[in-house]
Structure 1
Amino acid sequence: MSNLMYQMSAPVFTHQLKNLAAILKTAAKDAKARGIDPSVLLNARLAPDMLPMISQVRIATEHAKGCCARLAGVESPVFADDEETFAELQTRIKNTLAFIRTIKAKQYIDSEAREIVMKIPIGTLGFSGIDYLTGWALPNFYFHYTTAYNILRDNGVALGKGDFLGQVPGMSMSGKIAKMMQKKS
């Protein structure tokens, strides 16, 4: 199962973070084309009690790098959480991807049983590695990734399911779906 733990984490986060970077690039171009101050999109929310889009991206990257670090038994780099522009968010994603690439698949060996302890301001969470990955890290990552995508959609950025999924690794296509799933130029 150790290779499966690697396969279910690092490549998944890498693929989706690359999609998120492409989505943010589309949003930045859209803001420019529509004459919208980029800060409007960066600070947009779906609901008053939800964090803004910029925070959703920060948190998604935190879950990705934190998960990979915890499963591999290494320290996660600390980012300043001070991004204010699309370019700075792109740098954050690049730095997250660069960190994930430093961890080798063999470092995930036996991580399904590794004890994961997270100390947060309001208490402590404990999991086995497999429960942490499948019950905490992946769901939280996808929540924040999806929320960032939905905020941009809600604000008129022309994004679709293909932008969210990207070219799924290992997937082949033929017929009408191949044309439908082709990336927009």
Structure 2
Amino acid sequence: MKETLKRAVLLFALLAAVTGVAYPLAVTLIAGAAFPFQAHGSLVAGDDGRVAGSVLIGRDFTAPFYFQSRPSATPVTPYNASHSGGSNLGPTNPILLEQVADRVQVLREAGVTGPIPADLVMASGSGLDPHISLDAALVQVPAVAKARGLPEDEVRALVMTEAVDSPFAGSYVNVFSLNRALDRMGGGG
């Protein structure tokens, strides 16, 4: 019995060292060497060299000269990566209906006209989604172009160059990347 217990403890220690230390360390080192940008959070530096954000986490853009992100349902602050999660509000919940109506009003006040895609007024399941559909970006083009004093055709062309076509998700745009490209383009922003 003593020998069996000794073997079990030894086997447990060996497996704990391999699966709890050696394997995670090896994967981390390999990922850091092979994919340094992604392994370190896909962080993007601003012109001053400081971290401006991550292409994996949405940001709260409220100025009219920026494309608006998908709303965030994270607690405390929008796009709070330490509190990822949805709101759990059902489609007939009065709180959700009020939030949607408020978001529609904000978009209308910013100059967005026509039908508003759902991803501009409903949060994602994680509350961190940095992407909006191509339709959601295109519906904002006239308002953003006007706020920046840029021709709509130029802003629309920029959206199209930033758009990604996916066979699984359809066409979508990373709002953080789009707004950074928009800043490089110039205008009244």
Q: How high is the TM-score relative to the length of structure 1?
A: 0.28
Q: How high is the TM-score relative to the length of structure 2?
A: 0.27
Bigger radius of gyration among the two: 2
Greater relative contact order, per chain length (Cα 8 Å cut-off, separation 6+) = 1
More helix by proportion, 1 or 2?
A: 1
